[in-house]
């Protein structure tokens, strides 16, 4: 290997401008009234008119070290961003009460990739420091989006594939995640140190794929997801749900085209 090209540095960035607008009016109508309802001339019980723009620059730095023809080490730093928005079920309050802020993160990742012809694997570890993380809650019969102040996520992922014979690929992947709120007041209690809602503790996937040279293709995939936490404002502890093992498969036969050349004398 040419030592002058053993390292590769990539610098990038993205400027993002997001504009959102909402115009919502809430009316009280008879339960068995006409549908669609005619609200012309009626006064709205609550009106919400907001126009807001979010601007952000997201940098990224990535470094690759080509250790050998078979191994590559990687490291990266980046910023993540999900724009804010509005709650469409607003029945009271103004722009401040019905607006949720952008979720932002600072991301670090290191990893290594290997390719040994019939066998390859990727191993990576990552850390995310998150501010204004999205949270979802109910107020009465309304489903609302809001922000918790801080959270973090620490994870590792291993993905490997083996090609024992031509056309057959066996794969396995596992992701382990530790995600916690660092600063989150639910209102009824503090959730500092608790698992982030909706984030599984692990994801395990096994797969097999076969591709025949004649056009037949088939695959089977099995996936297991670890405990996922959900929070009830009245419950003293989070509720855990074990996700079922999912197995799916598909196969189809490619269409062969036969062309005949007729020579007429």
Q: For 39-75, write each residue's pLDDT tens digit.
A: 777 777 778 889 999 999 999 999 999 999 899 999 9
The string of DSSP letters for 230-251 reads: E--TT-SS-EEEPPPPEEEEEE
**Residue 226's pLDDT band (cuts 50, 70, 90):** confident
Task: Give the strand order in the sheet containing 202-211.
Answer: 7-26, 46-65, 71-82, 103-116, 119-139, 142-162, 168-183, 202-211, 216-225, 246-253
What pTM, to 2 d.p., does this model score?
A: 0.79
Confidence of residue 138 (pLDDT cuts 50, 70, 90): confident
CA–CA dist 184, 191 (Å, integer):
5
Q: What is the mean pLDDT of residues 218-230?
A: 85
Please say whether the beta carbons of 63 and 74 come within 8 A.
Answer: yes
Report the candidate in 93, 84, 81, 80 with the shortest Cα–Cα distance to residue 53: 84
pLDDT at site 192: 93
Q: Per-residue pLDDT for 262 more than 80?
A: no
Could you tell me how far CA 184 lies from the centroid of its own chain? 21
Q: Which residues contact 194 (CB under 8 A, 6 or more apart)?
A: 180, 181, 184, 229, 231, 238
User: Under CATH, which architecture does the 3-253 domain have?
Assistant: Beta Barrel (2.40)
Distance, in Å, from the CA atom of 73 to the CA atom of 66, rounded to the nearest integer, reads: 6
How confident is the model at residue 254, as a pLDDT? Answer: 44
Query: Given a cut of 50, is residue 260 above it in pLDDT?
Result: no
Nearest in space to 142 (alpha carbons), one of 94, 209, 91: 91
Share of the chain above pLDDT 70, in %: 82
């Amino acid at each position: 290997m040419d030592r002058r090209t053993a390292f590769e540095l990539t610098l990038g960035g993205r400027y993002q401008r997001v504009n959102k607008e909402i115009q919502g009016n809430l009316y009280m109508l008879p339960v068995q009234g006409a549908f669609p309802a005619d609200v012309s001339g009626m006064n709205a019980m609550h009106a919400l008119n907001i126009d807001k723009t979010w601007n952000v620059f997201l940098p990224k730095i990535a470094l690759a070290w080509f250790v050998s023809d078979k191994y590559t080490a990687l490291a990266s730093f980046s910023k993540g961003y999900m724009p804010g928005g509005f709650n469409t079920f607003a029945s009271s309050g103004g722009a401040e009460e019905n607006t949720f802020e952008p979720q932002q993160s600072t991301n670090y990742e290191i990893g290594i990739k290997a390719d040994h012809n019939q066998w390859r694997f990727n191993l990576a570890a990552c850390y995310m420091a998150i501010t204004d993380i999205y949270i979802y809650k109910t107020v009465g019969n309304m489903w609302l989006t809001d922000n918790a102040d801080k959270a973090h996520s620490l994870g590792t992922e291993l993905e490997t594939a083996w090609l024992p014979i031509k056309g057959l690929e066996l794969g396995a992947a596992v992701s382990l995640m530790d995600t916690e709120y660092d600063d989150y007041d639910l209102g009824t209690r503090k959730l500092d140190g608790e698992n982030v809602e909706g984030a599984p503790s692990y994801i395990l996937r096994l797969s097999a794929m076969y591709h025949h040279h004649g056009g037949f293709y088939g695959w089977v995939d099995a996936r297991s997801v670890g405990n996922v936490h959900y929070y009830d404002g009245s419950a003293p502890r989070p509720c855990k749900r074990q996700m079922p093992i999912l197995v799916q498969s598909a196969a189809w036969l490619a269409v062969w085209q036969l062309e005949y050349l007729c020579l007429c004398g």
